[in-house]
Chain A
Amino acid sequence: MTNTLLEEKVETQVQPSLDTPWSVVVMNDPVNLMSYVVMIFMRIFGFSKEKATRHMKEVHEGGRSILWSGAREEAEHYTHVLQQWQLNCRLEHNA
């Protein structure tokens, strides 16, 4: 009984960290055009022009913007694609 309870307790402690999402974060850079960045956000994430522009402005004025959060594999895919487009982008684990 004690062992079972302990296992259950351990499981409930570990599970949240496994489920914690990963974020795709784009950082500001001094080179890429605003129109280029907006177009990429629209194409890769299917954002509307308004939403893509909001994220672009967040990057430009605040230095960074979280574009997507979720499972690690998808987040890795998005990060890789954004880097192919020469954007300063990284994957962050929301610990």
Chain B
Amino acid sequence: MPEIAFKIEKEYLAPIGEMSMRIAELFGDKLAISVDLPRDDPELAEAWQDGLVETLHQDMRCLVNFIEDERFGFDSIWLEDSVAEGVLRACSAIRVKIRELYLGGLSDAQLEEGDFDGSLLDQEGKGAYLTYTSLALLQEAIIGAMSGTSL
């Protein structure tokens, strides 16, 4: 059971939580990534899509519960392995969506290296970028914690 030690400035907690919740609500029956479904078997394609949507919803619940924990951002939180996995996947899904919705004007290299003028982003874009980078840090913290456990 990994212990997640993830600390961020208190002033960033609310914008990260709000942006994450907003993106989570957008999914509905949609996926974060585009998926090639099996074309020769409609039943399999439907089950395939439904399975991915169900996992995405479960993962979002894991992340929302994690963010709503009163210790989030300033104290260690122990997570069940399956919950830690869900949080990891949810962070990835939200980052994919943020990239698509808010950061499309930035190149892959700019995003990877953080090499761009942040003042060019509007207020919403800044919140999106803050969430994008913070969730990456959270993923790193979880991966580091999980590497010490036998998952």
Using a CB-CB cutoff of 8 Å, which residues 41-58 of chain B contact chain A? Answer: 44, 48, 51-52, 55-56
Q: How many residues of A contact B (CB 8 A)?
A: 19
Classify the interface of chain B: helix, strand, loop or mixed: helix
Interface residues of B (CB under 8 A from A): 32-36, 38, 44, 48, 51-52, 55-56, 88-89, 92-93, 95-96, 99, 108, 111-112, 136, 139-140, 143, 146-147, 151
- CB-based nearest B residue for A36: B139
Q: Which single member of B36, B56, B99 contacts A90 (CB below 8 Å)?
A: B36
Using a CB-CB cutoff of 8 Å, which residues 23-55 of chain A contact chain B? Answer: 29-33, 35-36, 39, 43
Q: Tell me how many residue pairs across A and B have CB atoms closer than 8 Å.
A: 56
A90 to chain B, nearest CB (A): 5
- Bound CA span A35–B92, Å: 12
- Bound CA span A31–B36, Å: 19
A49 to chain B, nearest CB (A): 9
A57 within 8 A of B: no
Instruction: Pick the interface stretch among A1-9, A13-21, A61-69, A78-86.
Output: A78-86
